[in-house]
């Protein structure tokens, strides 16, 4: 099993290209099930989750083709992939595939919309809370489907097709918004989704579906209106830059000091996180080519944050920000409101010398003057990179174990950091 070894103390200087967003690429790939034409996606990142979803889509009969490198394109970075679901050969998403990645459960929406039936295993993924599928079930039932749970599978049927409706999400859910938006695209009549997620990834999916012939308005607001159409056609669409990767590298620069251009990053996608970094004493300069992050020798200021749905501070940056706050000049409080079990990185940060104690859903972080390298264990995708951020500033050597979590969501992390001066390498078992 691979490990990441790093020696802290180096500042980061240079340019880091921001990859396509995992959280945008996955629903876009799943949208290929809605049409028998070809959907071509640009800027798809090289990630374990992407490869797993390709296998899952292949099980349903989706063919794919990866385009070759283009001039001036770096080897091993984001690709253009075409997906064609000319014939859906199976409407079952089996446990052995779905259990490895939660987002694969989202195939239930397109399968039900196009084939009027689906049998999908209950999902797996990172162990950061129960994350029930109740909202998916309730929303699809509102669209006229019949669903029941049997033997760990959800059996969904809509013999006459889905029917437009008005549905208000009891709580904001990005995944459920993706699924119902895709499903409603082929429903009969108008669907109005209230209290919908407003994330940039939702907007990216809506733009792609519209390019495929859907009629969706309001994406990016809390009310999305979908006028169902009979069929969708193929399209060509680009995956947006990854705002979580952007925030992660911004915090790495804030932690170590230095001056880095996050090439291709879009400030509008994570303004709350950038504002928080400014409060912490970091220079943030948006420009035409990306976002420049700079911190000189000044200390890190403590900042209190609470995770919220977009446009608030993202839960997917909570662990990284906690890593940064471990060396702040004072006490910070980080409150997690999205997932109930997303502080598993606290014990591992403590191994590096961090001073953190928990009070319910709030982590109280007393900044220390130095961290010291140690062996640590990644527990989930975002937690694993918080250990890298802390290790970049720790004295001596840090070894992060179980880095397969990192490979699920960060494209060539060690390469991007080492090019900017980090002493970091991957150790293969």
Instruction: Give the CA angle between residues 89, 95, 101 to the nearest 5°.
Output: 100
Is 416 marked as a binding-site residue? no
Q: Judging by beta carbons within 10 Å of its beta carbon (0-12, 13-18, 19+), is residue 37 exposed, middle or buried?
A: middle
326 Cβ partners below 8 Å, 6+ apart? 349, 352, 353, 354, 355, 356, 365, 367, 368, 371, 390
The residues carrying an active-site annotation are 126
23 marked among binding-site residues = yes
Q: Which residues pair with 359 in a beta bridge?
A: 362
Length of the chain: 429
Q: Is the peptide bond before 202 cis (omega within 30 degrees of 0)?
A: no
207 contacts 164 by C-beta, under 8 angstroms: no
Residue corresponding to tokens 């490990």: 3
In 3D space, the residue among 110, 180, 119 whose CA is nearest the CA of residue 148 turns out to be 119
Q: Which of 25, 39, 33, 26 is nearest to 58 (CA)?
A: 33
Determine whether the annotation assigns residue 132 to a binding site. yes
118, two tokens: 């689906």
Q: Is 329 annotated to bind ligand?
A: no
Give me the phi and psi of 303, to 5 degrees please: -140, 140
Asked if 132 and 158 touch (Cβ cutoff 8 Å), the reply is no
With vertex at residue 173, the alpha carbon angle to CA 79 and CA 360, rounded to the nearest 5 degrees, is 110
Find the radius of gyration of the CA atoms of the chain: 21
152's CB contacts (< 8 A; 6+ apart) are 95, 121, 122
172 annotated ligand-binding residue? yes
Distance (Å, whole) CA 64 – CA 66? 7
Q: 188 labelled as ligand-binding?
A: no
* Contact status, residue 133 vs residue 123, Cβ threshold 8 Å: yes
The β-bridge partners of 224 are 193
Q: Binding site annotation covers 305?
A: no
Q: Is 50 among the annotated ligand-binding positions?
A: no
Residue 62, marked binder: no
Is 260 annotated to bind a ligand? Reply is: no
Say if strands 305-306 and 331-335 run parallel, antiparallel, or are unpaired. Answer: parallel
- List residues forming the annotated binding site for UDP-N-acetyl-alpha-D-glucosamine: 102, 131-135, 171-174, 316, 338
- List residues forming the annotated binding site: 22-23, 102, 131-135, 171-174, 316, 338
- List residues forming the annotated binding site for phosphoenolpyruvate: 22-23
């Amino acid at each position: 099993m691979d490990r990441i070894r790093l020696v802290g103390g180096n500042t980061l200087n240079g340019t880091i290209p921001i990859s396509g967003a995992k959280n945008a690429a996955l629903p876009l790939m799943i949208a290929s099930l809605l049409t028998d034409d070809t959907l071509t996606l640009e800027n798809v990142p090289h990630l374990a989750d992407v490869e797993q979803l390709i296998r899952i889509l292949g099980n349903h009969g989706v063919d794919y083709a990866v385009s070759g490198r283009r001039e001036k394109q770096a080897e091993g970075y984001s690709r253009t992939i075409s997906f064609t679901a000319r014939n859906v050969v199976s409407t079952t998403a089996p446990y052995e595939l779905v259990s490895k990645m939660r987002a694969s459960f989202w195939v239930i929406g397109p399968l039900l919309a196009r084939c009027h039936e689906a049998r999908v295993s209950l999902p797996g993924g990172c162990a950061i809370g129960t994350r029930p599928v109740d909202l998916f079930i309730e929303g699809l039932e509102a669209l006229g489907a019949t669903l029941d749970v049997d033997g760990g599978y959800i059996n969904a049927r809509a013999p006459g097709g889905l029917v437009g409706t008005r549905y208000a999400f009891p709580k904001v859910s990005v995944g459920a918004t993706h699924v119902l938006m895709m499903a409603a695209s082929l429903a009969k009549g108008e669907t109005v989704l209230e209290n919908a997620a407003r994330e940039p990834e939702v907007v990216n999916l809506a733009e792609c579906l519209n390019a495929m012939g859907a009629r969706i308005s309001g994406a990016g607001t809390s009310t999305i209106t979908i006028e169902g159409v009979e069929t969708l056609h193929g399209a060509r669409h680009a995956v947006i830059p990854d705002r979580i990767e952007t925030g992660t590298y911004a915090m790495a620069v804030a932690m170590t000091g230095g001056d880095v251009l996050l090439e291709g990053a879009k400030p509008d996608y994570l303004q709350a996180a950038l504002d928080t970094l400014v409060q912490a004493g970091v220079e943030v300069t948006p420009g035409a080519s990306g976002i420049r992050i700079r911190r000189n020798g000044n200390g890190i200021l403590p900042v209190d944050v609470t995770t919220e749905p977009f446009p608030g501070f993202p839960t997917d940056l909570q662990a990284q920000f906690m890593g940064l706050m471990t060396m702040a000049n004072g006490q910070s409080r980080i409150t997690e409101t999205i997932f109930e079990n997303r502080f598993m990185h606290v014990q591992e940060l403590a191994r590096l010398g961090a001073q953190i104690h928990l009070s319910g859903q709030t982590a109280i972080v007393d900044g220390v003057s130095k961290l010291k390298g140690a062996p640590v264990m990644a527990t989930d995708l975002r937690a694993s990179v918080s250990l890298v951020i802390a290790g970049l500033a720790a004295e001596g050597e840090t070894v992060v174990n179980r880095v397969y979590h990192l490979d699920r969501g960060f494209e060539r992390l060690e390469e991007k950091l080492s090019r900017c001066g980090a002493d970091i390498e991957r150790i293969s078992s």
